[in-house]
Structure 1
């Protein structure tokens, strides 16, 4: 019978030799000095042997335990070698099914069913672009904080190399958030034990938010002049003009459908939607919002109806189905020479100038669809001061047109 002292004393010889323990367990010593635990057994009249691991990585006590486990399988009439091969294959298949990509796709299907199609598409695109190439095939329980940090660094590098307006920190932080959501789902479903994103939560600082600002006089003149002579598509031009005239957000212009347009009453009406019916939400806040049409907006929408009247979206994507890409309008501003201007600056400009001209603050805030603290009041406020707001928006559209002078 072997003991620890004897095991340490075993030296290599010119030929392979074995030192026996008991019940078929022995240690094989090779001329190279490497040592392996072997289990010798008989099955169906044949003398067989299986390897249990290397010494000293596996000590005597663990080797005996492995021998006993193999012997228990042998007592059922099954070869422990074949049994181990089957279990190894099953474990490999299970590991493959628990890859980060597989768990992420399951998470999307089961946990994002009530999120907007745009959010789901953004989630998928981010994983496809930055995450799957790094850890998509890796078992989710083996994903480390170093993996997350590598993904965040690569995301920042990708964005900076493409000379985008942003430096990449926001996208990197968002990727960490998406990865964390998937891993916490894996923890909840017993396929991972810890969240490696927690350790790198403070590694990348979120850049200071640049708030929307009112356009300067020169910028306003360039905007209206160059947009009216814009050489791109009419749809993009009209979407840009509508942003200025209506005080809507970019996402609301992009999601606007013909169901929202009432040419008879000359209003654009976004209704509150039901999440239970998985309806598409248009407004940033889920509420009813009415935009009276100025003459300028009415004419733009009539023109758009001739262009896209047979499509779902008023300002539909040019070369594919669906709405305009979320970066299209900012790219348009860049093209006409206003790189430092964003579409959201239009709303800040309208708010600032209309307040300066003495229009009622409540009319302006309601037209901007800013949050009403009293939710009960907010649900009934959408139609308040409608005629006053109609006149204000017509005045505002005329003010915008006056910039070209």
Structure 2
């Protein structure tokens, strides 16, 4: 059964460490000193035979109940849709020499994500196509921004800029690239939420429709005669 904020706050300390479930693998661990820490239990690969793993999310109340659920949902999306092992991705980020967190830019994460996917299942053609989208529109706009301060409005600005030149399909695909980079940032522990996800529902790519012009009434008899002929 899902927890409530009131229940989380009221969880007592005990002589032994224990865990309570919020559902869908999200657990809150309470230590003997009364400290509380969120974890997400899952399997990798995500099958009944997969190895059980616990991804440590962070302490409560710094990470609220709602935020913990959002992180769990982001990680589930990465696991089931992209096949990324959240625990391995987090470990990899710790081993990688990123520099300070404040210096970690969208570009640094995007290029690391691109290299990871290229070394995995991407074809050379798809890898080149994604890199072109990054270099042409995305990185010039938000590449230099710190990865953890990028907002939905930043992502939307990239989208609208591409739309203005009439490239709606490119805008849609570029939004997908931005969202995947931010998903990756969540997986490796440099973001808690992907702000681009809401754009897929609330700010879709603008569609333009071209209709054939109407025929003037004066030309209708001629058109009908031509059709009969």
Smaller-chain TM-score bracket: 0.3 to 0.5
What's the TM-score once normalised by structure 2's chain length? 0.45
Q: Could you tell me the TM-score, scaled by structure 1's length?
A: 0.26
Higher relative contact order (CA 8 A, sep 6+): 2
Q: Which has the larger radius of gyration?
A: 1
